[in-house]
Amino acid sequence: MRVAILGTGALGGVIAGCLADTGAGLVCVSRGRTAEILEGGLTIFTPEGTVEMIPRDRYVLIDSQRGPLNETMCKSCDVAIIAGKADSTPELSSIAEDIVSEGGVVVSIQNGLGNSGIIASRVGWERVVGGSTTHSAWRDSEGGVHWTSRGSMSIGKMDGSDPNPTEAEFVSLLDEAGLNPTWSSDINKEIWRKLMINVAINPICAIAGIRNGGLLEIPELWIQSLEAMREAENVARASGVDLGAMNIEDYLRKVVTATSENRVSMLQDLMAGRKTEIDVICGAVISKGEELGIKTPRNEVLLALVRGIEMSQNHD
Ligand code: KPL
């Protein structure tokens, strides 16, 4: 099976590194400085403290800034995994359309709502697989990927259908790679559960400039995180997402504890002067809430504060 990873940043790097230990053909798509770094191989610091070096000859590297795909790469992959930031989804979907074979599929494991719809507009819903992951990672300035906590991955069709043979083979491959995958018959629920976590952790840790574990040490912040999460939960339930009976405080505590040493992706973005994913996180909750007549004041404040910081760093 040949797999392309579109957006080989922190999480994409973890997936590439794990797949490198399997027999899969690997294509890493990146751009600019990240592509330059990948020219020298990929270094992964595992949660167990070992360092893995993935040699450059283990993957084909495509710098997406260097123009259209080489003809030999077109339709060459069975699966394209989109692992980039939400604002790169339109560009990465177009690359996915070119690189994936006729019977191939495109998997999104990104944060936020709405990525699947953008991908479907390029390749059709029947070829889109939604996803969500609790693996967490960050990348240092030399491009080293620090896999901070070993989690799991859920993937599934947005209509809840069973996996086709390519999708089933892909799940087995992720399993062989040690990425703890499961095929979900309700991936929309998994995407919303992850969104609730991102709403609770990302903006507050980014604004306060703290690691995830800091939320447990500062009760005033913990209360705000929980409130933001509750708003997202209300919107999810009103949208018809079957979250079942869940204790959101326990769930949040479990994730914060497992990722306590992490600098959340939004904090990493602000520290690097990059645009954040606030629009597809709090922004998505607010607009869904507006559609359904549900108020989301915490999310509004968090969105405004993060946008304010972005603007002070000269973003649009
Ligand atoms: O998804 C994450 C992120 O950093 O974006 C969490 C789960 C909050 C881990 O840090």
Q: How confident is the model at residue 283 (pLDDT cuts 50, 70, 90)?
A: very high
Name 83's bridge partners: none
Q: Domains of the chain by range and CATH?
A: 2-185 (3.40.50.720), 189-315 (1.10.1040.10)
Q: How far is the CA of 264 from the centre of ligand 1 (A)?
A: 5
Q: How far is CA 3 from the centre of its chain?
A: 17
Q: How far apart are CA 159 and CA 151, in angstroms?
A: 25
Task: Report how far apart, in Å, the C-alpha atoms of 196 and of each of 24, 47, 113, 246, 305 are.
Answer: 33, 24, 11, 12, 18
H helices of 177-218, in order, are: 187-208, 214-217
Dihedrals φ, ψ of 106, to 5°? -120, 125
Which atom of ligand 1 is closest in space to residue 262's alpha carbon? 10
Which atom of ligand 1 is closest in space to residue 136's alpha carbon? 9
Residue 316 pLDDT greater than 70, yes or no: no
Site of tokens 């018959």: 185
Instruction: Write down the pLDDT at residue 67.
Output: 82
pTM, 2 dp:
0.93
Give the tens place of pLDDT for each residue, 170-211: 999 999 999 999 999 999 999 999 999 999 999 999 999 999
Which of 85, 157, 189, 194 is catalytic? The answer is 194
Pocket test for ligand 1, best of 14, 109, 197, 211 (most atoms within 8 A of CB): 197
Residue 139 pLDDT greater than 80, yes or no: yes
Q: How far apart are CA 119 and CA 93, in angstroms?
A: 5
Give the tens place of pLDDT for each residue, 265-281: 999 999 989 999 999 99
Task: Specify whether 194 is catalytic.
Answer: yes
Which atom of ligand 1 is closest in space to residue 212's alpha carbon? 10
Query: How do strand 136-139 and strand 145-149 relate by DSSP bridges?
Result: antiparallel
